[in-house]
Structure 1
Amino acid sequence: MSIDLDLQRKVEAILFAAKEPLTVEQIEVRLPQGTDVRAILRALKDTYETRGFTLTQSGNHWAFRTAADLSDILEHQKEEQRQLSRAAMETLAIVAYHQPVTRAEIENIRGVATSKGTLDILMEAGWVKPGRRRQVPGKPLTWITSEDFLDHFGLETIMELPGVEELKASGLLDKRPAIETIPGTPNMFEEEELTAQQEAQESENT
């Protein structure tokens, strides 16, 4: 299938001018109706694969990024960021590997209480966001990772997290939803496990 070079140039320009990663839908609205944006993005990704910067996909978002193997030769100045506390790092890891997960489940896994400020810090960083509420008594809010989390850590999907399959295979990461790991949780509270992307989509649609 041949790609219209004019449309490809337009998609390229849209991505370069964007301050943040864009979804396919955000690109489509700026182009003639019927444009196969996904095919153009795939072509651009192949074109830039060996260049100084590459076209990367994080979830449903696309953006140009400096080639990872060239980062050591670049001179850049980063804004000084507040270092995450141990509690915040542990909470982020639990959300990433157990999502969707409630605050009570996070506390159960960590073994200590989790302050509201810890989740607030992760929300301010843009790495976690509220998911859907569990359909159990009290309807607790769940937490999931965001597209910014994927983009920051260079992940296309959450399943690319380091060692996730190995951790599950070794038994170090529970394969069940986190709610089932809480001792004494009645079977009546069990619900179908949804993927992080499904949770995120349903949260955005509510």
Structure 2
Amino acid sequence: MTTEGLDALRERALFEAERIAEALIFASSGPVAESLIAAKLPQGAPVGVVIRRLAESYAHRGVNLVRVGDAWAFRTAADLGFLIRQEETEVKKLSRAGLEVLSTIAYHQPVTRAEIEDVRGVATSKGTLDVLLETGWVRMRGRRRSPGRPVTYGTTQAFLDHFGLEELRDLPGMDELKGAGLLSGRVPSNFQPPVLPANDDLTEDEDPLTQMDLEELGLLTPMGEAED
């Protein structure tokens, strides 16, 4: 077979792989993990190349293909967002305390309740944390290897998706957050968020949550079934 013929076959194979990836992402209600896309593609199809080509084909359209953590989703083009009405009921509006706690968790994760209070300089109610957990933007990550084994908190992929972030390192700077009213003047002037990791793996001083931990925290019944 000629070189031109081989090139045509490769192009056809890539095009078919793009169609599969496009269908998977379009049909999903949430971002689709790149690993899942790779598993569904024909054997040997380069998922990175397929995704890049698909993203390029949507780059100048009303819908763009965007990265959300290690996953991909179709989203309205940023410059057309103002045309789209929010039809769904908005997640329970967060109080100022809730916004401050969410910001602290996002920028200082993994973080315990006591550490959140140290950053904000005020007590943090369990109710505020419960509301954030209910939004799906915050999760219990693990337990800190320190006296009392306090629970550590971090953000979720749903948090990245809602705020249009590819990864945590895309979060706006502290000055931008203060300007938007998401951090109050109570935050110490010398506070600087750490360099956030590219993934949400447990750190060296965190232990994973066990079934016993989940039961203790009220996330599982004693029989091991998840609470509604």
TM over 0.5: yes
In structure 2, what is the equivalent of residue 125 of structure 1? 135
**Which has the higher relative contact order, 1 or 2, with Cα contacts under 8 A spaced 6 or more apart?**
1
CA distance, structure 2, for counterparts of residue 153 and residue 172 of structure 1: 26
Using the aligned pairs only, state the percent identity: 47
Answer whether contact 2:169 2:196 (CA < 8 A) is retained: no
What is the alpha-carbon distance in structure 1 between the residues aligned to residue 125 and residue 176 of structure 2? 30
8 Å CA contact 2:143–2:208 kept in 1: the answer is no
Bigger-Rg structure (1/2): 2
CA distance in 2, matches of 1:79, 1:119: 21
Helix, strand or coil at the partner of 1:4: helix
Could you give the per-residue CA deviations for residues 66-102 of structure 1, whole angstroms, max 9, x where no partner exists? 1010122234523143210111111000001111110
Cα distance, 1:98–1:80 mapped onto 2, change above 3 Å: closer
RMSD: 2.9
Give the counterpart letter for 1:199 in structure 2: D
Q: Is the 8 A contact 2:144 2:207 kept in 1?
A: no
Deviations 1:86-136 (A, max 9, x none): 111110000011111101101111222212221111111111111232222
Aligned position for 2:156: 146
The one-letter code of the counterpart of 1:100 is P
Residues 158-197 of structure 1 aligned to structure 2 (within 5 Å) = 158-164=168-174, 172-175=190-193, 195=197, 197=199
Separation of aligned partners in 2, 1:76 and 1:175: 32
CA distance in 1, matches of 2:209, 2:37: 20
Task: Give the 3 Å change call, closer, same or farther, for CA 24–194 of structure 1 in structure 2.
Answer: same
Further displaced range: 143-152 or 109-118 = 109-118
1:199 matched to 2:198: no
Would you say how many aligned residue pairs link Structure 1 and Structure 2? 187
Contact 2:145–2:207 (Cα < 8 Å) also in 1: no
Separation of aligned partners in 2, 1:205 and 1:30: 31
Q: CA deviation at 1:173?
A: 3.4
Residue 108 (structure 1) aligns with:
118
Kindly report which structure 2 residues correspond to 1:91-102, keeping only aligned pairs within 5 A, or say none.
91-102=101-112
Match of 1:31 in 2: 41
**Contact 1:100–1:196 (CA under 8 A) maintained in structure 2:** no
Tell me, in whole angstroms, the C-alpha distance in 2 between the residues paired with 1:200 and 1:156. Answer: 20
One-letter code of the match for 2:89?
E
Q: CA deviation at 1:13?
A: 0.7
State the distance in 2 between where 1:81 and 1:127 align: 11
Q: How far apart, CA to CA, are the structure 1 residues paired with 2:42 and 2:132?
A: 39
For structure 2, the 5+ residue unaligned runs are 1-9, 178-188, 211-228
